[in-house]
């Protein structure tokens, strides 16, 4: 079986200010104890390999997870650009806002305003940025390039592997969906993730193993999302404010109607 644990990065400076962050290299805040806490939580979990987005907020969170692993440390790769957050182009670094009735996107952009997009607008991108549809395709590529080789290894060996991917709220939602689709299923997130919350997916090979499979072949698999939005490690470290507005959206939440 392959187990995939996907961890959202710790609180960033843009998270605190409710700014569009995307691919901007904003660091963790002084609350970096969140990252240390998630690292300590997984200290007894033996990862086969740890992957991360190269953006500092994800990379530094992944480093905290790696630091807490027992010796010998598992191999790691913190340069996986395809698991970066959705790019928001010209909107990055700008405050989010609510759309003004009767005003087009172009009119908002001309005024330097970048309103929150709705769930139905998956094809819409800010200037120079990515749409949700673009992110979905990038997530599928990441799963093929990063996760599938481990599925193939497990199918060939009949063994077990456990990998960690440290990424971003919106990207994690697409990564989980893409892994589930490999098994022919569908998945819809229950809600947004707080910083350093995690999701777990189990991929079980069907039939007798070991199997002979090509490097790019998806064997018959059963995919199950077993944990979602877990944040046990943050007891005492969360603020009392609800996960709403931009905090919810960056945590992988959606907006179905005007807010």
10 is in an annotated binding site: yes
Measured between alpha carbons, how far is 162 from 99 in angstroms, rounded to an integer? 43
229 three-class SS:
strand
195 is in an annotated binding site: no
H/E stretch holding 172: helix 169-182
168 is in an annotated binding site: no
Nearest residue to 168 via CA among 10, 33, 2? 10
Encoded tokens for 228: 């979602």
Our measurement of the distance from residue 4's CA atom to the centroid of its chain's CA atoms, rounded to an integer in Å, reads 12
136 three-class SS:
helix
12 is in an annotated binding site: yes
DSSP assignments along 78-123, one per residue: ---GGGSPPP-GGGTTSBEEPPPTT--HHHHHHTT-EEPPPTT-TT
31 is in an annotated binding site: no
Indicate the annotated binding residues. Answer: 8-15, 57
Indicate the annotated binding residues for substrate. Answer: 8-15, 57
């Amino acid at each position: 079986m392959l187990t995939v644990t996907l961890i959202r990065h710790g609180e960033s400076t843009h998270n605190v200010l409710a700014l569009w962050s995307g691919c901007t290299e904003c660091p963790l805040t002084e609350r970096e104890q969140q990252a240390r806490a998630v690292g300590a939580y997984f200290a007894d979990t033996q990862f086969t390999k740890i992957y991360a987005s190269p953006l500092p907020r994800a990379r530094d969170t992944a480093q905290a997870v790696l630091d807490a692993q027992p010796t010998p440390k598992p191999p790691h790769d913190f340069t996986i650009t395809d698991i970066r957050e959705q790019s928001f182009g010209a909107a990055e670094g700008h405050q989010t806002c609510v759309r003004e009735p009767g005003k087009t996107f172009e009119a908002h952009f001309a005024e330097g305003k970048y309103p929150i997009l709705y769930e139905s607008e998956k094809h819409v991108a800010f200037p120079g940025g990515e749409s949700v549809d673009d992110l979905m395709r990038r997530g599928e590529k990441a799963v093929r390039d990063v996760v599938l080789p481990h599925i193939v290894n497990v199918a060939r060996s009949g063994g077990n592997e456990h990998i960690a991917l440290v990424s971003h709220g919106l990207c994690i939602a697409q990564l989980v969906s893409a892994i589930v689709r490999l098994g022919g299923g569908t998945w819809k997130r229950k809600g947004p993730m707080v910083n350093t919350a995690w999701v777990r997916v189990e991929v079980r090979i069907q039939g007798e193993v070991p199997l002979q499979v090509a490097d790019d072949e998806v064997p018959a698999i059963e995919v199950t999302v077993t944990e979602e939005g877990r944040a046990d490690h943050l007891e005492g470290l969360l603020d009392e404010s609800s996960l709403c507005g931009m905090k919810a959206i960056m945590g992988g939440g959606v907006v179905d109607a005007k807010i």
